[in-house]
Structure 1
Amino acid sequence: MASEGEFSLSRATHMQYFTDEDEEEEQEQEMGEELLEDEEESSQDCRSLYMCGPRRKGWSLGQVLDPRAKWVQEWNRVFLLVCATGLFVDPLFFYALSISETCMCLFVDGWFAITVTVLRCMTDALHVWNMWLQLKMAKRLSYRPNDDADEGEGRGERSGMNTRHVALKYLKAKKGFFFDLLVILPLPQIVLWVAIPSLLERGSITLVMTVFLIIFLFQYLPKIYHSVCLLRRMQSLSGYIFGTVWWGIALNMIAYFVASHAAGACWYLLGIQRSAKCLKEQCRGVEGCDLRLLACKEPIYYGTSKMVRDKARLVWGENKQARSTCIDSTDNYDYGAYKWTVQLVTNDSRLEKILFPIFWGLMTLSTFGNLESTTEWLEVVFNIIVLTSGLLLVTMLIGNIKVFLHATTSKKQAMQLKMRNIEWWMRKRRLPSGFRQRVRNYERQRWAAMRGVDECEMIRNLPEGLRRDIKYHLCLDLVRQVPLFQHMDDLVLENICDRVKSLIFTKGETITREGDPVQRMLFVVRGHLQSSQVLRDGVKSCCMLGPGNFSGDELLSWCLRRPFIERLPPSTSTLVTLETTEAFGLEAEDVKYVTQHFRYTFVKEGVKRSARYYSPGWRTWAAVAIQLAWRRYKHRLTLTSLSFIRPRRPLSRSNSLGEDRLRLYTAMLTSPKPNQDDIDF
């Protein structure tokens, strides 16, 4: 059995995430504008053939990189995870702010700030490396069927592009160098290490959170857009991101988790601001309380235990009314939506500070939260944004996961329904158990190889030119593995690639029998076949066909023989699969078409030698002839050496020494030699 489908377009399900038709149209328009700009620049650089001469070489960054190269796509996947890590790291800066429980003052956790700063610098370093690659990476390259996507580096030069032109385009692009530079500016580091200590020394404790939040959003929102642009660019290049449905679900879960983390961090920062506001109001109600007491003496605290000797700070730290109102309980002050942050602002456990806001963010975004709010405008706006974002994210998450799971389970359900129908048919027809098992094995192997994708239907609906180019790109490497096709030009290979069909055979299947008409030429891609030929007196000659070998060469002489005979030639051997085998075949009509339109190719001496050398029939006959000649020679030497020792034995007795061997030699000698016309066409 063989599944005759045309070669697949891709390895896995092509799922596109966050699709938007309007933005795709905008991207197509931008691509068209870029191509027009390239043509105008090339026309300005070279007005006429006679004016174009050798140019003076300027600065260069090396070879142009192909965005469709395999290693570039792998790096894009890694960089996408780096962007997700960066989106997770940035909100951690908020947790560096804390309130001292003993002194009731605001400070920066020094060691935690150092850790977050190092993590941010590591992600920025990878961003810088990606910017260096973008300077040498072409956005769009003209497609040529002869180009190989895995080469990756030399194709830009073959397409007429240079690194200087690519780098200038990246520098001038709207979403190019300066946009990438914006997302790696060390704004949170500057605010945390420079601006916040300065504001704390002045006593502006509530202004600290406002400045920190504004600078954070100024860079974090473009960073989110930068990640979305990277996703769309990866989809436009390959049609998918990671290639599997489960990675699509994982990406949506990561996005939802990062959104919950960012919302929780902002909630924590605004909660500290509300606590600082409460302390500020209590300080104003105490005689002799300076607002600078609300900021710790050491703005950046590294955990060193120093005794507080400032009398004013000691008095403020022992103020029971301020402590009970702002720190110990939430009943004496209206915290609104930030009520749960009271137990975090003075907590020494960094892990609890991070996990609890994430839990709050997940709960609020998932259940659209029952938030208690005050009338303060900033708190109301924050609640509206959180609830609206939660509604959108949950809707997108559930919708995308439903699409992904449907794409995964629909094919399995179709396969199960098909197997039930097959089982019903086999029971109705009362097929033997051996036949039933062979049918099950074939369907199982076909599902494992194609995952239910109908290749023939997928490619048949494409335009003829696109279908031919895609099949040429997919089948060229496989066709060139066949030694018979190594001496043919690209035009012949293109027509062969357009007509080959993929075939799958299970273990133990008989593909052709000796004497049956040859229906197709078979080219082995993966697996092994056994080619057996029956000689005289029931003796069999066997050989093994592996990847790169072929069978059905009788069709070549049948197509090229003159006068032409409509009757298909008989097969000279029996083909049986030794394991699960993948191959591609040319039907007899396709072989006839190729040989009639490109007859000049098949009369070349190189093609003749390859056909004779790799033909199973000629190989079998050559092996028989060589073994026969060698054994006859050895037998003759043995008889000659025995004649010097003792008198020659009678003929009947001497024949009895190798009677069985001579019978075998006779069978080999009379084995069918391939017709000379099979090659001399």
Structure 2
Amino acid sequence: MMATAHCSGCSSAGEEALHTEASSRAHSASNSGCGKPPWSSSESKAKLFQEWNRAFLLVCAGGLFVDPLFFYALSISRTCMCVFIDGWFAVTVTVLRCTNDAVHLLNLWLQVRTAAYDAGRRASPDEEGCKAIAKVRRLSFLKSVLFDLFVILPVPQVVMWIVAPALIRRGMTTTVMTVFLIMFLLQYLPKIYNAFCFLRRLQNLLGYIFGTIWGGIVLNLIAYFVASHAAGACWYLLGIQRATKCLNQQCMATKGCALRTVACMDPMYYGVTERQRLAWAENDKVRSMCLDSSDNFEYGAYKWTVALVTNSSRVEKILLPIFWGLMTLSTFGTIESTTEWLEIVFNIIIVTSGLLLVTALIGNIKVFLHATTSKKQALHLRMRSLEWWMRRRHLPRGFRQRVRQYERQRWAAMRGVDECEVTRNLPEGLRRDIKYHLCLDLVRQVPLFQHMDELVLENICDRVKSLIFPKGETITREGDPVQRMLFVVRGHLRSSQALRNGVNSHCMLGPGNFSGDELLSWCLRRPFVERLPPSSSTLVTAETTEAFGLGASDLRYVTQHFRYTFVSEKVRRSARYYSPGWRTWAAVAIQLAWRRYRHRLTLTSLSFIRPRRPLSRCSSLEEDKLRIYTALLTSPKPNQDDVAA
């Protein structure tokens, strides 16, 4: 019974909402599909939170870049040959880390607020099914929040400002590097997992996170760069540990030297004072053994760090390890190594990680490039097939150019996606909902449909087809049977209608206008006539035009099933007002009435009574024009009786 319990709060469909790591895990914990957090009550809010998710992903990448910088605060004084912490660099890195943690806290606050708002909207708390689902969600959300709090704990700051100075004062210089490495692994690996899960959920939600394929390529390169930076920082830390080990060995071999000598008197060194270390600082043999060259001591894979551990340039300290990381991860198998177990394990991890990262990077970039070029290749193949067909049929040059122009414009507008083909194989309900979502706003722009209810609009949206016409294309000729009604979405159509004696009427149809209203009169005609009505005008595209087409059979279906809507007075007035045929006839009638009125004023202004004569004997130019306008007025009107029916 619990499986069949119905929850009105859970079954309500929410809109696209803030999609964060905690909320994603909380919602994916239950397979029932009960509603999503309705943070976004409008489209603008949904876009705002999408942008926030993208920005927070970059913040996560920034956090992964900041954490390895703590290693570079450790350094060795070349003058005193002792280990110290670069104070100003430590302050800078701490500020960066705290700023990043503050953004994480803000995102966590948004998660909690989203969950609270979502829980407040759910109804029927007494039903057992919803109670179980709510309990699972609460536990999952609590775990995710605790996990997010763990990855932003100030562990590096505590180690940097409290633990490391205390160890340096006691002379435990090599232990400092070990503590830094353990701290880094304990918090950095969960942070990588957190960012990776957030990335995957964004991909499932948005597809291409930054909207383009090239954004995905850049994101993969950023991930590879961050991995190289982390590997280089670990390499620097182990390198400075190897240099410190060399100094400790030489100190133990030197008479009167204690291990505290290798630790500077001021663990936090800000470059303000210089401490003389007397005999130890003047020991050139130790300096040449450990700091001047890498040939006198077994540095192994850390050979290049000898030039860095005493370097005062912070930029060089950061850039060279990044270069080493990029080079090592890209060219795995070229690392020298000693027999020390920690170095061997480090090299194995670097080589394996490089193999996996390079393979993943190449694979992802290949997928992205294939997605970029596959549509272009499909266009080229289609154009080649069309060229072969046109040559085989010996089409004239003008026809070939029109075919090429249409294909290019259709491809540019739709990006090679055939909407009809995409929606054809979907379930009927899903297809109807998708077309209703895509077409409703555009169909409502048509004034003819503004007075119709939702049921009629839904059936119209289900039957319209998206059409694209290139510039200069003749859609319909005057006198041809009308095949469909066209509702202009983008672009303009030039409508021309022949009147009498070579006089033509022209008008422009833009977005929101329609043509083919003869079909509406044809569908409402009683008794019904199978023959399609002739077109009263010629339609030519003035530019590339996108439109919705409603075929004659589809329009007949809609008008037959919803006849009560189409015979209403509002719809009839809208059809007459926006119909090009009725507008042309109205313009002719108004002009004729105005000219007859002016002619009558002219006759009444004469001082004598003009004798009546037959019209056939009139020779004046004004009377000839009046005769022409009379003929226009008596011309057939656009299916007046049919619409009135």
Query: Are residue 532 (structure 1) and residue 496 (structure 2) matched?
Result: yes
1:623 to 1:328, Cα distance in 2 relative to 1, 3 A: same
In the TM superposition, residue 654 of structure 1 has moved relative to its aligned partner by 9.7
Query: Are residue 243 (structure 1) and residue 243 (structure 2) matched?
Result: no
1:63 to 1:520, Cα distance in 2 relative to 1, 3 A: closer
**CA–CA separation in structure 1 for the residues paired with 2:324 and 2:248:** 26
- Which of 255, 259, 265 in structure 1 is aligned with 2:233? 265
Counterpart in the other structure of 1:123: 100
Query: Are residue 478 (structure 1) and residue 442 (structure 2) matched?
Result: yes
**CA–CA separation in structure 1 for the residues paired with 2:191 and 2:625:** 82
AA at the equivalent of 2:31: G
Contact 2:239/2:302 (<8 A) preserved: yes
1:448 to 1:125, Cα distance in 2 relative to 1, 3 A: same
Counterpart in the other structure of 1:330: 294
1:330 to 1:461, Cα distance in 2 relative to 1, 3 A: same
Residue aligned with 1:345, SS: coil
- Which of 400, 414, 417 in structure 2 is aligned with 1:436? 400
Counterpart in the other structure of 2:184: 216
**CA–CA separation in structure 2 for the residues paired with 1:561 and 1:215:** 83
Counterpart in the other structure of 1:382: 346
AA at the equivalent of 2:76: I
Contact 2:472/2:540 (<8 A) preserved: yes
For residues 414-433 of structure 1, the aligned pairs below 5 Å read 414-433=378-397
Counterpart in the other structure of 1:293: 261
Contact 1:248/1:404 (<8 A) preserved: yes
1:615 to 1:189, Cα distance in 2 relative to 1, 3 A: same
**CA–CA separation in structure 1 for the residues paired with 2:320 and 2:124:** 53
**CA–CA separation in structure 2 for the residues paired with 1:92 and 1:537:** 86
Counterpart in the other structure of 2:7: none
Query: Are residue 279 (structure 1) and residue 247 (structure 2) matched?
Result: yes
**CA–CA separation in structure 1 for the residues paired with 2:178 and 2:367:** 41
Any gaps of 5 or more consecutive residues in structure 1?
A: 1-24, 40-61, 142-155
Residue aligned with 1:282, SS: helix
Counterpart in the other structure of 1:64: 39
In the TM superposition, residue 160 of structure 1 has moved relative to its aligned partner by 6.3
In the TM superposition, residue 508 of structure 1 has moved relative to its aligned partner by 0.8
Contact 1:65/1:137 (<8 A) preserved: no
Contact 1:267/1:357 (<8 A) preserved: yes
For residues 638-657 of structure 1, the aligned pairs below 5 Å read 638-641=602-605, 643=606, 656=620
1:168 to 1:93, Cα distance in 2 relative to 1, 3 A: farther
Deviation track 1:267-298 (CA, whole Å, cap 9, x = no partner) reads: 11111111111111111111222222222222
In the TM superposition, residue 169 of structure 1 has moved relative to its aligned partner by 5.2
AA at the equivalent of 2:269: Y
1:98 to 1:63, Cα distance in 2 relative to 1, 3 A: same
In the TM superposition, residue 243 of structure 1 has moved relative to its aligned partner by 2.9
For residues 328-477 of structure 1, the aligned pairs below 5 Å read 328-477=292-441
**CA–CA separation in structure 1 for the residues paired with 2:602 and 2:215:** 72
Q: Which has the higher contact order (CA 8 A, sep 6+)?
A: 1
In the TM superposition, residue 341 of structure 1 has moved relative to its aligned partner by 0.8
Deviation track 1:525-545 (CA, whole Å, cap 9, x = no partner) reads: 000111111101111111111
**CA–CA separation in structure 2 for the residues paired with 1:473 and 1:85:** 38
In the TM superposition, residue 29 of structure 1 has moved relative to its aligned partner by 6.5
Counterpart in the other structure of 2:31: 32
Contact 2:67/2:97 (<8 A) preserved: yes
**CA–CA separation in structure 2 for the residues paired with 1:596 and 1:31:** 46
In the TM superposition, residue 664 of structure 1 has moved relative to its aligned partner by 5.7
AA at the equivalent of 1:533: Q
Contact 1:64/1:136 (<8 A) preserved: no
**CA–CA separation in structure 2 for the residues paired with 1:430 and 1:555:** 37
Residue aligned with 1:537, SS: coil
AA at the equivalent of 2:65: F
In the TM superposition, residue 444 of structure 1 has moved relative to its aligned partner by 0.7
Residue aligned with 1:137, SS: helix
Q: RMSD over aligned Cα, in angstroms?
A: 3.1
In the TM superposition, residue 103 of structure 1 has moved relative to its aligned partner by 1.0
1:89 to 1:573, Cα distance in 2 relative to 1, 3 A: same
Deviation track 1:468-517 (CA, whole Å, cap 9, x = no partner) reads: 21121121211111122222222222221111111001111110111111
AA at the equivalent of 1:130: N
Moved over 4 A (4+): 25-29, 138-141, 156-162, 165-172, 638-641, 646-655
Deviation track 1:149-193 (CA, whole Å, cap 9, x = no partner) reads: xxxxxxx9988699xx99995785156322222222222222212
**CA–CA separation in structure 2 for the residues paired with 1:299 and 1:26:** 43
1:440 to 1:160, Cα distance in 2 relative to 1, 3 A: farther
1:648 to 1:187, Cα distance in 2 relative to 1, 3 A: farther
Deviation track 1:247-286 (CA, whole Å, cap 9, x = no partner) reads: 2211111111111111111111111111111111111111
1:665 to 1:462, Cα distance in 2 relative to 1, 3 A: same
**CA–CA separation in structure 2 for the residues paired with 1:442 and 1:625:** 40
For residues 631-642 of structure 1, the aligned pairs below 5 Å read 631-641=595-605
Q: How many residues align?
A: 611
Contact 1:363/1:369 (<8 A) preserved: no
Counterpart in the other structure of 2:175: 207
1:546 to 1:167, Cα distance in 2 relative to 1, 3 A: farther
Deviation track 1:51-86 (CA, whole Å, cap 9, x = no partner) reads: xxxxxxxxxxx9834698222112211211221122
Residue aligned with 1:332, SS: coil
**CA–CA separation in structure 2 for the residues paired with 1:455 and 1:661:** 53
Query: Are residue 137 (structure 1) and residue 137 (structure 2) matched?
Result: no
Counterpart in the other structure of 1:3: none
Contact 2:26/2:138 (<8 A) preserved: no
In the TM superposition, residue 448 of structure 1 has moved relative to its aligned partner by 0.5
Contact 1:472/1:494 (<8 A) preserved: yes
1:376 to 1:595, Cα distance in 2 relative to 1, 3 A: same
Counterpart in the other structure of 1:624: 588
1:114 to 1:662, Cα distance in 2 relative to 1, 3 A: farther
Contact 1:365/1:391 (<8 A) preserved: yes
- Which of 258, 276, 282 in structure 2 is aligned with 1:318? 282
**CA–CA separation in structure 2 for the residues paired with 1:193 and 1:649:** 117
**CA–CA separation in structure 2 for the residues paired with 1:33 and 1:279:** 63
**CA–CA separation in structure 2 for the residues paired with 1:180 and 1:189:** 18
AA at the equivalent of 1:390: G
- Which of 518, 522, 526 in structure 1 is aligned with 2:486? 522
1:662 to 1:668, Cα distance in 2 relative to 1, 3 A: same
Residue aligned with 1:536, SS: coil
In the TM superposition, residue 632 of structure 1 has moved relative to its aligned partner by 3.1
**CA–CA separation in structure 1 for the residues paired with 2:52 and 2:534:** 53
- Which of 529, 540, 549 in structure 2 is aligned with 1:585? 549
1:663 to 1:530, Cα distance in 2 relative to 1, 3 A: farther
Instruction: Using the aligned pairs only, state the percent identity.
Output: 72
Counterpart in the other structure of 2:160: 192
Contact 1:63/1:157 (<8 A) preserved: no
Per mean C-alpha deviation after superposition, the further-off stretch among 74-83 and 132-141 is 132-141
Deviation track 1:620-642 (CA, whole Å, cap 9, x = no partner) reads: 2222222332333344445545x
**CA–CA separation in structure 2 for the residues paired with 1:489 and 1:275:** 81
Any gaps of 5 or more consecutive residues in structure 2?
A: 1-23, 126-132
Contact 2:208/2:216 (<8 A) preserved: no
